[in-house]
Chains A and B, each alone.
Chain A
Amino acid sequence: MSTTTAWSPDQPIVSIKDVYKSFGELEVLKGINIDVMKGEVICIIGPSGSGKSTLIRCINALNNINSGSIKVKGMEVNNLELDKLELRKEVGMVFQQYNLFPHKTALENIMMAPLKVLNQPIKEVEEKARQLIERVNLVGKESSYPGELSGGQQQRVAIARSLAMNPEVMLFDEVTAALDPETVNEVLLAIKDLAQKGMTCILVTHEMGFAREIADHIYFTDRGVIVEHGPPATFFTEAKDPRTQEFLSQIL
């Protein structure tokens, strides 16, 4: 078990090496290797139950891995003495079910973590939260409660809430899967804007068109292994593995 090492921008910001993970008898991840450079956008695709969500939940230690190594900015995640709070300040996460805090308004949702976790002064935090609201195109919804917002609006608040912590890496776990088709686009636009501004993004997604458009690299997982990967230009047209071909033929 290695511990934290120094990190420099020429090294991968997220480095996943030979990761194994099982829930009891069920092996979910069987030797995953992915390197993500700073500013890169990675899409992980694959059939349900292939371990995509588990994989990205391991990156911010929501799930523990059984063996292997995940390093985020040099911090070893597979480490019992890991300072999880330090890790999670670097890694933001957006969930399929938004998971906004229902007892707080949109603005308060965004302000909460910087206020309570980072103990930043309230004036600064509010100013920043208002900028984020603007950035995700939700001006006017500051004092709405999550229950009063549509799915797409809630998801954009969730993105802003993660960004308020100034993370280095953003994880998106099927963030459009629970949305109405007409609101998917507004969320994808918010993510695209992030990606274009240089945020390191790791997405688990079923939106193939979107993946093709914004990803620098696409990974296809099936039954806990990475079957195939490559830049979108070649991935979609020159898939070699029959499992990838079958998946793509079903979905495209």
Chain B
Amino acid sequence: MKLYQKPKTPTDLPVLKPFVVSGSKTWSMETFGTITADRRILVAFAIFLIAWLSVDVVYAQIQSDTNQSAFATLIKWTPLMLLGPPGELGGFVLNIVVSFIAMALGTFLGLWLGLGQISLNPIIRRSSWAITQLFRNSPWLVLLFYIMLLMPFRVTIAGVDFDIPGWWKAAFALSLPIMANISEIVRGAIASIPTGQWESAESLAFSRTQTIWQIILPQCVKRMLPPWMNWYCILTMSTPLVSILGVSDGMSLTQDALAAESRSEFLIPMYLWLMSWFFIYSYPIAKLTRRLEHRFAVNE
């Protein structure tokens, strides 16, 4: 991909000057520099967290309070916030599980919806477009409420009752906006493949289906990977939304822990603690996404 192209006709309008995104080179000292710089951010974050907590411990001791320090409280609640109540799936782990399921389902549905958007059949094409637009432009929380209230909590199949856990419904609800956005990514990536690829496949007697699956989509993977990972990060950051609907994810268990402690000064460290997990989990993914974007941009 060219970042800058000379305008074909002379122009007085301002043009985008060529620029180099730092770290866009292949492996070199420069890349090494950017990575260490990013590590520094992580380290700074950790130091800040530790410093803040130690001050808190000291403060609690000076007050000679009989209550626990914030640090001890965090340690006490960490297993619950992280793993949920014993014997149940919950806490931060549930956030990750929900993000996996929603992403897998959203990607699968989104791929077909995206292919539907380029279908030669006008009915399929238009309805795929409409579904895509509907779910892309709906607030996630509204979709969550809608699905949680719409889907039954129990289904009976062949006389056997199956309970549908709330977090399963939540994962399905979150997969809908992901589906719509993946659909757009797929459509856009296919449209970005030069028509010459279609023509040469066609003249080699490939059918349309063969062309799409064997020639066009494999070339799209590279283009789709960075935005796909980006949406995964957005999705993961959005999973605490499910706490509003009574799913025992990390967010709602943190709220429970705070309610049990009923000490308002713990509010900041507890949420910060939870936040740092999300950060540590998604930051490397975001970082990798950026690296991939640059690498693919240079290679094309």
The listed residue (B194, B206, B219, B299) touching A113 by CB distance below 8 A is: B206
Question: B190-240: which residues lie under 8 A (CB-CB) from chain A?
Answer: 194, 196-197, 199-207, 210, 214-215, 218-219
Do B203 and A101 touch across chains, with their CB atoms under 8 A apart? Answer: no
Task: Report Cα–Cα, A186/B223, bound state, in Å.
Answer: 34
User: Is A197 interfacial (CB 8 A cutoff)?
Assistant: no
Contact B206–A116 (Cβ < 8 Å): yes
Closest residue to A97 on the B side, CB-wise? Answer: B196
Interface-central residue, B194, B205, B218, by most chain A CB under 10 Å? B205
Nearest B residue to A85, CB-CB: B205
> Are B214 and A116 closer than 8 Å at their CB atoms?
yes
Cross-chain contact B210 with A95 (CB below 8 angstroms): no
Given the complex, which residues of B lie within 8 Å of A88, measured CB to CB? Answer: 202-205
Complex interface residues of chain B between 268 and 300 (CB less than 8 A to chain A): 299
Asked whether A132 is an interface residue with its Cβ less than 8 Å from the other chain, the reply is no
**Is A136 engaged at the interface, CB distance under 8 Å to the other chain?**
no
Which residues of A100-139 are within 8 A (CB) of B? 100-103, 112-113, 116-117
Instruction: Answer yes or no: A185 CB below 8 A from chain B CBs.
Output: no
Q: Is the interface of A mostly helix, strand, loop or mixed?
A: mixed
Query: Contact size class for A?
Result: 20 to 34
Q: How far is the CA of A112 from the CA of B203 in the complex (A)?
A: 13
Query: Closest approach, in angstroms, between the C-beta of A200 and any C-beta of chain B?
Result: 16
Expressed in whole angstroms, the Cα–Cα distance for A112 and B205 within the complex equals: 11
A residues near B206, Cβ cutoff 8 Å? 113, 116-117
Q: Does A69 contact B (CB under 8 A)?
A: no
Q: In this assembly, does A194 line the interface, its C-beta being within 8 Å of a C-beta of chain B? A: no
Contacts of A91 in B (CB 8 A): 203
Contact yes or no, A112 B219, CB < 8 A: no
A84 to B196, CA, bound (A): 18
Distance of B199 from chain A, by nearest CB (Å): 6
- Interface presence of A161 (CB below 8 A): yes
Bound CA span A60–B218, Å: 26
> Closest residue of chain A to B198, judged by CB?
A99
Interface residues of B (CB under 8 A from A): 194, 196-197, 199-207, 210, 214-215, 218-219, 299
List 10 additional contacts besides A97-B194, A97-B196, A117-B204; criterion CB under 8 Å: A62-B199, A84-B205, A88-B205, A99-B196, A99-B199, A102-B219, A103-B218, A116-B206, A117-B207, A117-B210
A contact residues vs B (CB 8 Å cutoff): 60, 62, 84-85, 88-89, 91-93, 95, 97, 99-103, 112-113, 116-117, 147, 158, 161-162, 165
Sample (25) of A-B pairs whose CB atoms are under 8 Å apart: A62-B202, A84-B205, A85-B207, A88-B204, A89-B205, A91-B203, A92-B203, A92-B204, A95-B196, A95-B199, A97-B194, A99-B194, A99-B199, A101-B200, A101-B215, A103-B218, A112-B204, A112-B214, A116-B210, A117-B206, A147-B299, A161-B204, A162-B204, A165-B204, A165-B205
